[in-house]
Amino acid sequence: MKKYNFNAGPSILPAEVIKQTADAVIDFQGEGLSILEISHRAKYFQPVVDEAEALMKELLNIPEGYRVIFVGGGASMQFCMVPFNCLEHKAAYLNTGVWSKKAIKEAKAFGEVVEVATSAADNFTHIPMDFEVPQDADYLHITTNNTIYGTEISDEKLQAIYAKKGNVPLIADMSSDILARPIDVSQYDIIYGGAQKNLAPAGVTFVIVKEAFLGKVSRHIPTMLDYRTHVENGSMFNTPPVLPIYTAMLTLRWLKANGGLEAALERNMAKADLLYKAIDESKIFEGTAKKEDRSMMNICFVLKPEYAHLQDDFFKFATAKGMVGIKGHRLVGGFRASTYNAMTLEGVQALVDCMKEYEQSLNL
């Protein structure tokens, strides 16, 4: 049976990228060695890192003065690296869910943290916009997509945030929507994320950083936690996660060959529209996020209260039809279909068909 991988992360990658990675595990570029055993200092690996950085710059239209680095540790490590490198006195954070909260928790050990707004009272089902940014903050931190609640800061709201921030540097955790749509990188000083959604398998973290923004805090920074270490050494200060970086490069090639981010956005909108329409037209399902803040990447829905007892039954029904990873996060319940770049329209259609078939079987 064909499986449709709706996991929230690590998550679906393009089929050809998976095939090419498997080939490289057997024989890397005809070198007679596996990618698992090549030296990161070998002449044939540096071009991989260089191409991955160049493709990130090209696809995201990253301006001069920025570098892209690949490190380990995940976004969770970035939650402390950001304040370690950038928080001297005060930082502003927009709290849009669990991941924002974790970032705030780490920052508090380094200086004053102002939570400019939060939608905690509504279980983070919307992106709050009624806030001002303290102009003496070292930076404003946002989380552009919130996997657990299925919310995403829309382009319109991003524009409003760019206006609000004034001269305060902007830092964004884009773990779960990087490369899903064009972004005006020039508005940001740092963009980071675990790569295991739209980019790579688990084990590598990307950081897009404006070089001129670094080196402004007075504290000592351990070498590996200092962004400058990785910038100056082109992600090769120590042994980087070789295979995840190689797979990231393959995914970036795939994205470019398929029309770049404008085309990715078009595909992602088509998939999201298809699934949200099915949810909105359903008698038994309903969405959880406020419509204007709905995520294109993580589509959360629950059974309406009167059908809540069918939760396990629908889950079994969908699983039997090949749907994988659709259980919602325990903080929201219900279901979550993650429709990252590599998910096809056909996959989303299969889920929609499955939802409709189930609903019809109830003879309402």
If the CB atoms of residues 123 and 223 are measured against its own copies, the closer one turns out to be 223
Q: Can you tell me the distance from the alpha carbon of 292 to that of 288, in angstroms, rounded to the nearest whole number?
A: 12
Question: Which of 138, 173, 177, 226 is the catalytic position?
Answer: 173
Of 346, 323, 337, 325, the C-alpha closest to 285 is: 337
Three-state SS at 208: strand
Least distance between its own copies and beta carbon 163 (Å) = 33
Q: Which is nearer to its own copies, 74 or 169 (CB)?
A: 74
| CA separation for the pair 100, 253 (Å, rounded) | 31
Closer residue to its own copies (CB): 74 or 97: 74
Say whether 254 is catalytic. Answer: no
- C-beta closer to its own copies: residue 5 or 282: 5
Pairing type for strands 298-303 and 335-338 reads antiparallel
The number of beta carbons lying within 10 Å of the beta carbon of residue 184 is 13
Q: Which residue, 41 or 309, has its beta carbon nearer to its own copies?
A: 41
| Rg of the chain on CA atoms, in Å | 21
Other beta carbons within 10 angstroms of residue 302's beta carbon come to 20
User: What ranges in 123-241 are assigned the alpha helix state H?
Assistant: 155-165, 227-232
Q: How far apart are CA 351 and CA 149, in angstroms?
A: 19
**Residue 12 CB, nearest approach to its own copies (Å):** 5
Q: Could you tell me if residue 120 is left (phi over 0), alpha (psi between -120 and 50 degrees) or otherwise beta?
A: alpha
Instruction: Based on the residue annotation, tell me whether 197 is a catalytic residue of this protein.
Output: yes
Whole-number Å distance between alpha carbons of 26 and 28: 7
Rounded least distance, CB 242 to its own copies, Å:
4
Q: Which tokens in the block code for residue 111? A: 């200086």
What stretch of H or E contains 257? helix 242-257
Residue closer to its own copies (CB basis): 128 or 241: 241
Minimal distance, residue 346 CB to its own copies, in Å: 16
Q: Is the dihedral of CA 230, 234, 238, 240 positive or negative?
A: positive
Q: Which residues contact 136 (CB under 8 A, 6 or more apart)?
A: 89, 90
Residue placing its CB nearer to its own copies in the complex, 44 or 317: 44
Q: Which tokens sit at 151?
A: 């919310």
Q: Determine which one of 138, 177, 189, 197 is catalytic.
A: 197
Per the annotation, the verdict on 173 as an active-site residue is yes
Which parts of this chain interact with its own copies (CB under 8 A)?
1-3, 5, 7-13, 18-19, 21-22, 25-26, 31-40, 42, 71-77, 79-80, 84, 102, 105-106, 109, 194, 196, 201-204, 220, 222-225, 237-244, 247, 322, 324-325
Smallest gap, in angstroms, from Cβ of residue 308 to its own copies? 23
213-225: buried (b, 16+ CB within 10 Å) or exposed (e) per residue? Answer: bbeebeeebeeee
Is beta strand 90-95 parallel, antiparallel or unpaired with respect to 4-5?
unpaired
Q: Least distance from C-beta 273 to its own copies, angstroms?
A: 24
| Nearest distance in Å: CB 63, its own copies | 29
Which residues are identified as catalytic? 99, 173, 197
